[in-house]
Amino acid sequence: MLPTPVSLAGHTVIFGGSFNPPHLAHQMACLYLVEGLGAQAVWLLPAFVHPFGKELVPFEHRLAMCQLIADPLGKRVAVSDVERREAASGYTYDTLVELTRRHPERRWALAIGTDVLAETPSWHRWPDIEALATIVVMGRQGVAAHRQGVLALPDIASRVVRERVQRRESIEGLVSVRVRAYIEQHGLYL
């Protein structure tokens, strides 16, 4: 039985990540946040630089693929390039401070995955992040969740998508048809 989810009415949910590439579980999470939890908006924020130094395909490709998963979900799901700013550190806290400065009228929530939940104590200024935003944990099948409001999404990982592309195996059912076409068109992850 799922715990009672939190209401996100009136909140703009920041859903950040590498999105290298964005997959169907990311898209399903957006749908759940707006339709299941009533978020006013969900903003996908692809990381410009990864705070732990992970190698990523160029930002423009990840930004474009995020737009491809956002478009079918309507105007409440948008993509932000705020991480591209010149002084961007890649830290969630700094991004939330910048967004609050730009949009003081908004109430923020932050969507994170159960797969990174254990890492949050090591995040830059995690207690301050919790003070700035309501935390919403998005589950992945097979990963234990310890917070209220967790919905288990399909166990899809961007790493698996990249590996399958490298081996020239099908990624059908892991990413949207639009993202799959984009990856093929641009020869990403080969």
Contact 46, 30 (CB under 8 A): no
Average pLDDT over every residue of 76-80: 97
Phi and psi for 55 in degrees, rounded to 5?
-75, 130
Average pLDDT over every residue of 172-187: 98
Average pLDDT over every residue of 80-109: 90
Give this prediction's pTM: 0.90
pLDDT band at 3 (very low <50, low <70, confident <90, very high): very low
Q: List pLDDT tens digits, range 141-163.
A: 655 554 545 677 888 999 999 99
What percent of the chain has a predicted confidence (pLDDT) above 90?
A: 73
pLDDT band at 1 (very low <50, low <70, confident <90, very high): very low
Contact 77, 113 (CB under 8 A): no
> How confident is the model at residue 190, as a pLDDT?
94
Give the whole-angstrom CA distance, residue 118 versus residue 79.
26
Give the whole-angstrom CA distance, residue 62 versus residue 55.
12
Distances (CA, A) of 188 to 59, 128, 129, 163: 12, 36, 33, 11
Q: List pLDDT tens digits, range 9-47.
A: 999 999 999 999 999 999 999 999 999 999 999 999 999
The two structure tokens encoding residue 63: 């930004």
